[in-house]
A = this chain, B = another copy of it.
Amino acid sequence: MSKRALSVSREENFPDWYQAIVRDGDMAETSPVRGCMIIKPWGWGVWERLQAELDARIKDTGHDNCYFPLFIPMSFIAKEAEHVEGFAKEMAVVTHHRLKNEGGKLVVDPDAKLEEPLIVRPTSETIIGDAFQRWIKSYRDLPLLVNQWANVVRWEMRTRLFLRTAEFLWQEGHTAHADKDDAVAETLKMLEVYRTFAEDVLAMPVIAGEKPANERFPGADNTYSIEAMMQDGKALQAGTSHYLGTHFAEAQNIQFQNADGKLTYCHTTSWGVSTRLIGGVIMTHGDDDGLRLPPAIAPRQIVIVPMLREKPEDAALIEYCAALEKDLKAAGIRTLVDAKAVKSAEKRWNWVRRGAPVIVEIGGRDASGGNVTFMRRDKLRDGDKVISQTLPRADFVSQAPALLKEIQQALYAEAKARLDGNIITNLNSFEDLAAYFGPAEGDDEGGAFKGWARVPWSRPEGDSLDAIADRLKALKLTIRNAPLGQEQAVGKCLFTGEPAKEYVLIARAY
């Protein structure tokens, strides 16, 4: 039994711990629709914060938001050959546009069959490409930089809340450029936006790098990712950015007249992050008492719990809390007074499980003494003991912005130390690798902590790469990426024995 606020600890069973935190942290729940989740108010509040922060960064880099149709005609999906292979497998297909009542029973009306089936978008390259082909005429229209926030559907067989769901929410950026240099620069610029966003806002350190050929987005020339290390050591692909070459432009006739009047294919990119990031936040920062939210994305940064006793003195307590809330809000802090008719202890632990960065408890003595007693969610305990601090109210208010910054940094530092300390670099053979990671366990079993391996790599492609991917797959391993900005590789490729061209990261992954 856990001695903490969740019924199961990370150590006991990481996947069960994850489920407990999603449930008890009021983040999300499963729905009666297979693979589709219900995002609850607290979870949605995190998504809203995350959206606002990222959206500002997307706009600051010159992109305009638009909205494109939910549905994609089946023939569009067929246009880009690799894209078909990658996405045509599991998608929601709309075939009819009407139900009818048949003897008191609702059935699909066979007379309302669509001429062409529609696909619920799994991603929007093809439908947006069609618009680009109409919008782009001359080099003056380039670069064309758009983004949309949307729901997408991929028919997943095994789902896990936030991490892998049939319907998920994301942003997808789509851009068209006059040449390769400009498109590649865009691809890398947005990867960097993702990296800084993950680190500065989510307090989630990541490694940005290029995916090997077998892990590319279907139809991409190059795919880049940011990868984060979860507390079980697994990697989470937290965002991707793709240089699509002229594949989609050729498939969809996205051409422009260049300065010399010559018709030329555009180079396109796409990039996205999704509600999966919330799963990443949970597995980066959660502890056995529940979620710990970085202040930058906490829907409420400070929650004030008046220790009500159903006595006449309660009115004064509530008044004191309201005044404190007002001061904190004036300082730009998202604050809530939880004055619900629920026991104070229960309220405390609810907010602990939800991960409010600072939880204030105001009792009669605090109110009469003009003090504030509070807990930092990131440093909740000393051993088993819950730590609280007391400050004069004015001091607490004046120090609160700095306190939130400190919590944000502390969460980042803790995760950064984990990432930096758990990349093993001295594996010299495939056997070493196999021995380090040990046998693959079932997906839902968790298992002992394993970090990542950084190994020399000769950048094989084609059949050779496929064979390597298969050997890794047998160990449930994948190549995550080749980190950008890495030093010159030395030694021989762990797989081919050829001179290394770079290092790649290998890990088990979500």
Interface of A toward B, CB cutoff 8 Å: 29, 31-33, 36-41, 44-45, 47-48, 64-78, 84, 88-101, 105-106, 108, 117-120, 127, 130-131, 140, 146, 150-151, 153, 155, 167, 169, 341
CA distance A69 to B153 in the complex (A): 11
Tell me the minimal C-beta distance from A162 to chain B in angstroms.
Answer: 12
Q: Which of B40, B73, B84 contacts A32 (CB 8 A)?
A: B73
Residues of B within 8 A of A84 (CB): 101, 106
Q: Which of B41, B47, B93, B151 contacts A70 (CB 8 A)?
A: B151
Tell me the minimal C-beta distance from A452 to chain B in angstroms.
Answer: 33
CA distance A92 to B140 in the complex (A): 39
Tell me the minimal C-beta distance from A50 to chain B in angstroms.
Answer: 13
CA distance A77 to B70 in the complex (A): 21
* CB-based contact A31/B89 at 8 Å: no
Q: Which of B75, B89, B94, B169 contacts A94 (CB 8 A)?
A: B94
Tell me the minimal C-beta distance from A221 to chain B in angstroms.
Answer: 23
User: Assuming the A-B contacts A39-B66, A78-B106, are A167 and B71 also in contact, with contact meaning beta carbons closer than 8 angstroms in the complex?
Assistant: yes
Residues of B within 8 A of A65 (CB): 41, 44-45, 48
* CB-based contact A88/B69 at 8 Å: no
* CB-based contact A38/B69 at 8 Å: yes
* CB-based contact B95/A66 at 8 Å: no
* CB-based contact A67/B155 at 8 Å: no
User: Assuming the A-B contacts A78-B106, A91-B99, are A44 and B70 also in contact, with contact meaning beta carbons closer than 8 angstroms in the complex?
Assistant: no
CA distance A297 to B155 in the complex (A): 38
Q: Which of B67, B78, B106 contacts A74 (CB 8 A)?
A: B106
Q: Which of B38, B91, B119, B153 contacts A66 (CB 8 A)?
A: B38
CA distance A169 to B88 in the complex (A): 27
* CB-based contact B77/A155 at 8 Å: no
3 closest pairs, A vs B, by CB?
A36-B69, A41-B64, A39-B67
* CB-based contact A91/B98 at 8 Å: yes
Tell me the minimal C-beta distance from A53 to chain B in angstroms.
Answer: 15
Tell me the minimal C-beta distance from A327 to chain B in angstroms.
Answer: 20
Among A32, A39, A48, A68, the one with the most B-chain Cβ atoms within 10 Å of its Cβ is A32
- Can you name the residue of chain B whose Cβ is closest to the Cβ of A167? B70
* CB-based contact B31/A131 at 8 Å: yes
CA distance A187 to B153 in the complex (A): 33
CA distance A169 to B68 in the complex (A): 11
Tell me the minimal C-beta distance from A344 to chain B in angstroms.
Answer: 16
- Can you name the residue of chain B whose Cβ is closest to the Cβ of A146? B41
- Can you name the residue of chain B whose Cβ is closest to the Cβ of A104? B78
Tell me the minimal C-beta distance from A213 to chain B in angstroms.
Answer: 22
Tell me the minimal C-beta distance from A75 to chain B in angstroms.
Answer: 8
User: Assuming the A-B contacts A84-B106, A90-B98, A99-B74, are A169 and B131 also in contact, with contact meaning beta carbons closer than 8 angstroms in the complex?
Assistant: no
